[in-house]
Amino acid sequence: MANLLLGCIADDFTGATDLANNLVRAGMRAVQTIGVPSAPLDADVDAVVVALKSRTIAPEGAIAQSLEALRWLQAQGARQIYFKYCSTFDSTPRGNIGPVTEALMDALGCDFTIATPAFPDNKRTVFKGYLFAGDVLLSESGMQNHPLTPMTDANLVRVLQAQCTRRVGLIDHTVVARGAASVAERIAQLQSDGVSIAIVDAVSNDDLVRMGPALASLPLLTAGSGVAIALPANFGLAPSAAASALPPAGGLRAVISGSCSLATNRQVLDFVRRGDAALAVDPLRIAAGVDVAAEALTWAAPLLDHGPVLIYSTAEAHAVKSVQGRLGAPEAGAMVERTIAAIARGLVERGVRQLVIAGGETSGACVQALGIDQLQIGAQIDPGVPWCHAHCAAASGKGLHISLKSGNFGGDSFFTHAFAVLD
Ligand SMILES: Nc1ncnc2c1ncn2[C@@H]1O[C@H](COP(=O)(O)OP(=O)(O)OP(=O)(O)O)[C@@H](O)[C@H]1O
Ligand SMILES: O=C(O)[C@@H](O)C(=O)CO
């Protein structure tokens, strides 16, 4: 059996990479698997993050997938389990954060756990149980309009309580500020009051590091990726360059973007403004039956030798709405994802070995089309986004450097800056 320290279950692909990135930066060697592996772990690592696509499916499906991941991680000897969800706590009154947390607690026989999406490096902070995204409450951050998981209440105790049968409480900032012993005391107090899950405040990385030792004995942690920075120390590990070492990079470079988030729109604009080679994919032409993937690959072929090319369906909200109005939102999404994934595969078949993909759903579709089932995590490009290395069917089993960027992560020059990190 592998000597796995931390077994993680992430509810989406880019979120899984985000978590693995923070673990690696704090000194753990980590891999991310795409779905629950069918074979035992074949890598000498400290942490595995099993990436699911369970964030917005029915709670029953999310529970079943998460329990399957738990069983696999337990079979690999995982000493502690970490359930990773979004730093904006994406969920509905039906779930899936609450139901999955409770199912994991039942399976682990665990009577207490924490819940904190705080990720200060990406401006997600929790104060008095209220989640802030940037300078505003979650419910005023734009997330109140999310099409699948509208977050209209920033009070996480209330939000999580609505999803749980167990009682939810709070470990507030004054407790965290006093350090791990104080957090441990508060946990004992909450337990004697019949509380089983506590939202924990954190407004800085210092808060996360301070609470770390108090989390060492909990069989299950549930959080965004922030708390991960405090965990390797609990296992005696310290940050080291060796944890993020990847094989040397080579080959051609490309960026594929299907994310329509604000940050990605800025990143596409930045790339285009630099005059680098960029091609927009038009969903309406895909719907009209044009082989847009073949067109894009023909366009890219003579340009690839001269630097990274960008192929994107990224568009601003009004354009996306108009396409969705004509094609239907799920239909438009699926159509664009299929095309973008075919382009990603074609690019790798043509020699691209350094590939940036923007968007969670987009990343899922591309990773599947590329035939990747495991990613080794390397150096961070921007908070929440590392380079990874994978063996992939589309590269005839050879190595590919790949980065899966969450829609709203990364600075404006991400699509250029990312490749400099590999130089
Ligand atoms: N121009 C477009 N018109 C309509 N739908 C689009 C367009 N471009 C992309 N899409 C679809 O929008 C969705 C974008 O979701 P995706 O998860 O990839 O990005 P994101 O939401 O920004 O990322 P994350 O989940 O990491 O925050 C995909 O289903 C994609 O196919
Ligand atoms: O926590 C986050 O914000 C991200 O890792 C994520 O989950 C985006 O889908």
Sole residue written with tokens 């080959």: 251
Cα–Cα distance measured from residue 408 to residue 164, given in angstroms and rounded to the nearest whole number:
28
Residue nearest to atom 3 of ligand 1 (CA): 320
Cα–Cα distance measured from residue 419 to residue 393, given in angstroms and rounded to the nearest whole number:
23
Q: For the chain, what is the largest distance between any 2 Cα atoms, rounded to a whole number of angstroms?
A: 68
Residues 230 and 277 in one domain: no
pLDDT band per the 50, 70, 90 thresholds, residue 126: very high
DSSP conformation letters of 285-349:
HHHTT--HHHHHHHHHTTTGGGS-EEEE----HHHHHHHHHHH-HHHHHHHHHHHHHHHHHHHHH
Residues 310 and 349 in one domain: yes
Q: List all residues 6 or more positions away from 87 whose beta carbon is below 8 Å from its beta carbon.
A: 117, 118, 119, 122, 124, 133, 224, 225, 226
Q: Of the candidates 222, 239, 256, which is a domain's last residue?
A: 239
* C-alpha atoms less than 13 angstroms from C-alpha of 272 in its C-beta half-sphere: 13
Residue 341 pLDDT greater than 90, yes or no: yes
Phi, psi of 281 (to 5 degrees): -100, 125
Q: What is the pLDDT of residue 236?
A: 97
- Checking ipTM against 0.95, whether it exceeds it is yes
Residues 235 and 278 in one domain: no
Residue nearest to atom 4 of ligand 2 (CA): 15
Cα–Cα distance measured from residue 127 to residue 374, given in angstroms and rounded to the nearest whole number:
36
Query: Which residues have any ligand 1 atom within 6 Å of their CB?
Result: 14, 258-261, 264, 283, 313, 315, 320, 323-324, 332-333, 336-337, 359-362, 406-408
Q: Is residue 387 in some structural domain?
A: yes
Residues 106 and 133 in one domain: yes
Which ligand 2 atom is at minimum distance from the Cα of 88? 3
Q: Of the candidates 182, 216, 239, which is a domain's last residue?
A: 239
Q: What is the pLDDT of residue 370?
A: 96
Structural domain count of the chain: 2
Which ligand 1 atom is at minimum distance from the Cα of 408? 27
Cα–Cα distance measured from residue 383 to residue 252, given in angstroms and rounded to the nearest whole number:
25
SS3 (DSSP) at 196: strand
Question: Could you read off the pLDDT of 261-275 as tens digits, one per residue?
Answer: 889 999 999 999 999
Q: Is residue 1 in some structural domain?
A: no
Residues 205 and 287 in one domain: no
Residues 227 and 371 in one domain: no
Sole residue written with tokens 């020699």: 351
Q: 79 or 148: whose pLDDT is higher?
A: 79
Q: Is residue 67 in some structural domain?
A: yes
Residues 175 and 282 in one domain: no
Q: What is the pLDDT of residue 105?
A: 98
What is the helix (H) or strand (E) element at residue 328, kind and residue range? none
Q: Is residue 27 in some structural domain?
A: yes
Query: Which residues have any ligand 2 atom within 6 Å of their CB?
Result: 12, 14-15, 18, 86-88, 119, 224-225, 360, 384, 406
Q: What is the pLDDT of residue 3?
A: 80
Residues 270 and 232 in one domain: no
Residues 136 and 42 in one domain: yes
Phi, psi of 75 (to 5 degrees): -65, -20
Question: What percent of the chain stands above pLDDT 90?
Answer: 92
pLDDT band per the 50, 70, 90 thresholds, residue 1: low
What mean pLDDT comes out for the span 319-348? 95
Residues 280 and 362 in one domain: yes
Residue 325 pLDDT greater than 60, yes or no: yes
Say which amino acid occupies 348.
V
Ligand 1 midpoint to CA 231 (Å): 32
Residues 222 and 280 in one domain: no
Q: Of the candidates 191, 212, 239, which is a domain's last residue?
A: 239
Ligand 1 midpoint to CA 259 (Å): 4
Q: List all residues 6 or more positions away from 253 whose beta carbon is below 8 Å from its beta carbon.
A: 304, 307, 308, 309, 352, 354, 355, 419
Domain of 111, CATH number, reads 3.40.50.10840
Domain of 301, CATH number, reads 3.40.980.20
Ligand 2 midpoint to CA 302 (Å): 35
Residues 74 and 187 in one domain: yes
Cα–Cα distance measured from residue 294 to residue 228, given in angstroms and rounded to the nearest whole number:
42
Q: Is residue 81 in some structural domain?
A: yes
What mean pLDDT comes out for the span 130-148? 91
DSSP conformation letters of 116-146:
E--BGGGTEEEETTEEEETTEEGGGTTGGG-
Q: What is the pLDDT of residue 2?
A: 65
> Would strands 30-34 and 374-382 be described as parallel, antiparallel, or unpaired?
antiparallel
Q: Is residue 257 in some structural domain?
A: yes
Residue 147 pLDDT greater than 80, yes or no: no
Q: Is residue 392 in some structural domain?
A: yes
What mean pLDDT comes out for the span 32-60? 95
Q: What is the pLDDT of residue 148?
A: 80
Cα–Cα distance measured from residue 189 to residue 407, given in angstroms and rounded to the nearest whole number:
39
Q: What is the pLDDT of residue 145?
A: 81
Residue 365 pLDDT greater than 70, yes or no: yes
pLDDT band per the 50, 70, 90 thresholds, residue 101: very high
SS3 (DSSP) at 416: helix
What's the domain range around 31? 6-239
Q: What is the pLDDT of residue 348?
A: 97
Give the CA angle between residues 67, 73, 78 to the nearest 5°: 130
Average pLDDT, the chain: 96
Cα of first residue to Cα of last residue in the chain, in angstroms, is 37
Residue 375 pLDDT greater than 90, yes or no: yes
Sole residue written with tokens 């470990």: 171
Q: Is residue 360 in some structural domain?
A: yes
Ligand nearest to the CA of 18: 2
Is residue 330 packed enough to be buried (19+ CB in 10 Å), middle (13-18) or exposed (0-12)? exposed
Best CA proximity match to 348, nearest among 304, 388, 384, 286: 304
